[in-house]
Structure 1
Amino acid sequence: MIKKHLIYKRDKWNMLTVEVHGKTLILREISDQWGEECHTFLSRPAMMHWAEDRFSKEKFGGTEEEWTAIMQAFKEV
């Protein structure tokens, strides 16, 4: 059974989802700038490490509330 989590969705061209396939986590990031990127993680800690690097507070361009919501969504996967 595949469980899909929506991390964020701004529109149909800018979104990030995580699919849980047993122990494997498949993260798909779609952006109008880069197209689709796919990352596969074998553990939640590995995914969280990527998320904390990708969405570091220093580099994040959005608001504090947006950052908090994204990180909370990752934690709920």
Structure 2
Amino acid sequence: MFKKVQIYKTDKYNMLNVEVQGKTLIVREISDQWGEECHTFVSRPEMLHWAENRFRPEDFTGREAERDAILDGFRSI
């Protein structure tokens, strides 16, 4: 049994989910540009480090609240 957490979903082609399978965290990122990317992490700190690098502040200039919401979603796991 695993838990699925939705970090964001803008439409059926742009979303990011995290599946918690025991100690393993699987991040599934679906975008209309890149298709589906899957990242597997063995610890929460490793996943948070990836998320902070993936969602860099300079990519969200003027949309800081959007970035904060995404990172808060990761932190809640």
Smaller-chain TM-score range? over 0.9
Q: How does 1:26-45 map to 2 (within 5 A)?
A: 26-45=26-45
Count of aligned residue pairs for this structure pair? 77
Runs of 4+ in 1 over 4 A off after TM superposition: none
1:15 corresponds to: 15
Richer in helix (by share): 2
1:2 corresponds to: 2
Instruction: Provide the TM-score with structure 2 as the length reference.
Output: 0.95
Unaligned residue ranges in structure 2 (runs of 5+): none
String of CA shifts for 1:20-77, please: whole Å, max 9, x gaps: 0000000000000000000000000000010000001012366111111001000001
Unaligned residue ranges in structure 1 (runs of 5+): none
Instruction: Provide the TM-score with structure 1 as the length reference.
Output: 0.95
Question: Matched residues in 2 for 1:39 and 1:5: separation?
Answer: 14
